Amino acid sequence: MKHLFFIIIFIILIAVPDISAQRYLPGQQGVQVISGSVNGLNPGEGFHGGIAFSKYAKNTNRWVLGIEYLEKAHKYKDIKIPQSQFTIDAGYFFKFFSEPSKTFFLSLGASGIAGYESINWDKKLLFDGATIRNKDSYLYGGAVTLEAEIFLSDRLILLANVRERLLLGSSVGKFNTVFGLGLKIIIN
């Protein structure tokens, strides 16, 4: 993990001099891929990953539409019981900070989320005869996201975010905090 961090920092330092382009233009579109951890930075507890489409609007804000997979591991004796969520989300991000060279941006976003949750892939009986009482269910709710965008070039952007998700319908837990790193490619 430390090696990945140093590689990302190295790429950022190389790309910073590229500050001449216009960015956050209305109508620009991008595809982003993001992955990270759930409820802390311990990868053994859970992970998430997603792909999204973003479109920049007026006033340097943007719309985002995406799909995401999240899995948390709940310990039971010597095993881990998976809680898996498949969701789609649509949201709007407000840019509230950019530095003068237009290389670093901070945005705050709000999203609506809908999806499905499976507990232990619907296998209710465990190895020792215990029964899982939580049921698979449909999810609905929202998320608040703080996201940083670092332009590595005119078309390649490094993303880092922290997101608090509130999903009603879950029989296990309503809140999940996710931390993520990803890349966005501007496609037009």
pLDDT, tens digit, 9 for 90 and up, residues 143-185: 999 999 999 988 899 999 999 999 998 888 888 899 999 999 9
Q: Provide the residue ranges of all domains of the chain, joining segments of one domain with +.
A: 33-142+162-186
- On whether the pTM is more than 0.85, the answer is no
End-to-end CA distance of the chain: 33
pLDDT, tens digit, 9 for 90 and up, residues 73-90: 888 888 888 889 999 999
Q: What pLDDT was estimated at residue 13? A: 55
pLDDT at 19 over 50: no
Spatial distance between the Cα atoms of 66 and 161, rounded to a whole number of angstroms = 15
Spatial distance between the Cα atoms of 149 and 136, rounded to a whole number of angstroms = 35
Q: What pLDDT was estimated at residue 17? A: 47
